[in-house]
Amino acid sequence: MEDQNDNFILIPAKSGGGALVRRSQVAGGRANGGDGAILYLSCGPSVYTTATIPQLAEYFGANKADIAR
């Protein structure tokens, strides 16, 4: 049976519109300066997105770590 949390997410892409990615295909990601982030997909090309890391965390339902300074 397929995992119910392995659905597709529409990520805003820098090339316009968006990229439809499956949760299980996201291998990692990193911030890309002040311009958003890069998502690395295990199935193919990277997605350059205008979404920030905190926004991506919300898309994926992840918890953000609060760092006290």
Residue 68 lies in a domain: no
What pLDDT, on a 0 to 100 scale, did the predictor assign at position 40?
Answer: 94
What pLDDT, on a 0 to 100 scale, did the predictor assign at position 1?
Answer: 39
What pLDDT, on a 0 to 100 scale, did the predictor assign at position 63?
Answer: 76
Residue 18 lies in a domain: yes
42-50 long-range contacts, CB within 8 A, separation 24+: 47/11, 47/13, 47/19, 47/21, 48/13, 48/14, 48/15, 49/11, 49/12, 49/13, 49/14, 49/19, 50/12, 50/13, 50/14
Question: Domain tally for the chain?
Answer: 1
What pLDDT, on a 0 to 100 scale, did the predictor assign at position 38?
Answer: 93
| Close Cβ partners of 69 (under 8 Å, ≥ 6 residues apart) | none
Domain range enclosing 20: 8-60
State pTM to two decimals: 0.73
- If the chain, 69 residues long, is cut into consecutive pieces of 10 residues, what is the mean pLDDT of each piece? 69 84 90 89 90 88 74
Residue 38 lies in a domain: yes
